[in-house]
Amino acid sequence: MFGLVRNRTYNKKKILVMGTLFLAVLLFLAARVVFLIYYRGPELAEKAKELQERERTLVAQRGQILDRNGVILAENQTVYNISVIHNQIEDEKAVVDLLSEKLDMDADVVYEKVSKVTSIEKIKNNVPKDIGDEIMAYGLKGIKVDEGSKRYYPYDNLASKILGFAGGDNQGIIGLETVYEDVLAGENGELISTTDARGVELDDYMETIEEPIKGDDLMLTIDYNIQCYCMQTAEKVYRQKEAEGVSIIAMNPQNGEILAMVDYPEFNLNDPFSFTGDFSECTDLNEMWRNSCINDTYEPGSVFKIITTAASLEENIVSLDEQFFCPGYITVDDRTIHCHKTTGHGSENFVEAIGNSCNPVFITLGLRLGVDRYYSYFEKFGLLEKSGIDLPGEAGTIMHDKENMGQVELATVSFGQSFQLTPVRLMTTVAALINGGTTVVPHLGKTIIDSETGESTPISYEAGESIVSSETSETLRFLLEKVVSEGGGNKAYLEGYEIGGKTATSQTLPRSDNKYISSFLGFAPADDPQIMILIKINDPQGAYYGGVIAAPVAKELFENILPYLSVLDNKQ
């Protein structure tokens, strides 16, 4: 009897324990369900959605780049991006054979991509439209052909070193394409499709498409026709003189607008990674893409006498009728510095001295100014700062530290030697000196055109600081017109037009290489400059003096450009 009671008690306890455990499990599961539904429900639903959806990026078209008159310099071509979805492939061999043949790819490489168990595998981007159409026509399961766009440059190498180019991912790599990336790039879209557990897209579910937004268009200050004139001229000089390179910049000195910029030879924008043509012996892409107008410095030589003249006129340390005597040299401290005319120019007034490009006279002016005053004009004229042009990689001026600048250094700087600056920096300063004395910012971006509304927004640039008086500017223009009409720049003279300018011949470093740079900086009309041109010829063979080979190039350019710009014959 006692044993029976004990067994009943034991069984009741056992039932109670099991019931309690069962109830606890039920409560736990109920709590878990509540937790999953109310607390993690949205998160889990999103994860399930992600597992059931496949996303593909729809790359936005880049905005066009146009010249100032609307000529298209960079646009887009329709291409296809080819990919495969492993779980949808029914005939793997057929897919591999088709893609390797049509895409001109190694079959083993294609097979490795096709056989990967991934949601989607890229095979090749930027496939020409006709090839993509052929692939689609076969209708093989598992191949995805998505439309995209590729950058295309209608004129191949025209303006290559300023336009730059976009890469396979449609992002700018160099030049304006990278400076204005935010303007041109646009916003990518997205295509979302629904799949089953195996990753196979379901035909019954509609694809969701977020359309890409095209980038805005960029209108430049560049004039297509002037760019062509300069390009053709640069190539001709490059061939005739067997030069290392020829750079030409055309600018409106009144506002800093760049009308043309050439750095010949130029590369093919539609094949920017190939060393072809004049670059067949080149091995460095950066060297091929380099724009020496802004990326490289050089000794400006006698063109820099424009700067010394402007500072001297501002300081009233010279008059136009002041007489000088040039014996062919001048001694500074213990250094004898020769004039380019070693027999000397003899007696000459200042108007004649600048026309003769007489070194001793300009050294005399530099010494009159002194280190402190001359250096202050370097700073005032912006020569120690970058020009601020809207291109990447602008180099800075290489100049003596003021405290290390002695009389000899001052003498050599006064006629354009022993320091270096970029062509665009020199041109920007001279533009201000001849336009009445007001600074400008050299630039290529003119207007942004909204891709959706068509609304145009001008790009603004800070400028307008006065660096010389209008009287100094007027006198400088008068002197530089005399250089062309009567002096050493006479080979740039154009009948019927008043052209101002200055020639230069400088050496590259090291001097032992005996390589020279021939250059000319000129503007027209002399009394109201509307266009300014800088020509720089690197290491020409044979005659290398600026007045002999660079000045005639300027004349040829002015002959084409002045009538085109409707600049009237101001001597009629």
Residues with catalytic function: 302
Task: Tell me the CA end-to-end span of the chain in Å, nearest whole number.
Answer: 144
**Amino acid in position 533:** I
Q: How far is CA 197 from the centre of its chain?
A: 49
Radius of gyration of the chain (CA): 36
Helix or strand holding residue 286 (H, E): helix 285-289
Q: Is the dihedral of CA 426, 432, 433, 438 positive or negative?
A: negative
Asked if 82 and 103 touch (Cβ cutoff 8 Å), the reply is yes
Catalogue the E-assigned strands of 214-314.
217-220, 245-251, 258-264
Positive or negative: CA dihedral 511, 512, 515, 518: positive
Is there a cis peptide before residue 510, judged by omega within 30 degrees of 0?
yes
Instruction: Output DSSP code: residue 71.
Output: -
What does the alpha-carbon distance between residue 92 and residue 79 come to, in Å, rounded to a whole number? 25
Measured N-to-C along each axis, helices 551-564 and 224-240 cross at an angle, to the nearest 10 degrees, of: 160
- Strand, helix or coil for residue 437: coil
Sheet containing strand 189-194, edge to edge, reads 53-58, 189-194, 208-210
Q: Check: CB of residue 554 under 8 Å from CB of residue 522.
A: yes
Nearest CA-CA partner of 387 in 502, 228, 251, 518: 251
Helix ranges (DSSP H) in 455-569: 470-485, 551-564
Euclidean distance between CA atoms 337 and 526, whole angstroms: 32
60, 186 in Cβ contact below 8 A? yes
In the numeric block, the tokens 């000459």 are attached to 348
Sign of the Cα torsion 556, 538, 157, 395 reads negative
Type of residue at 30:
A
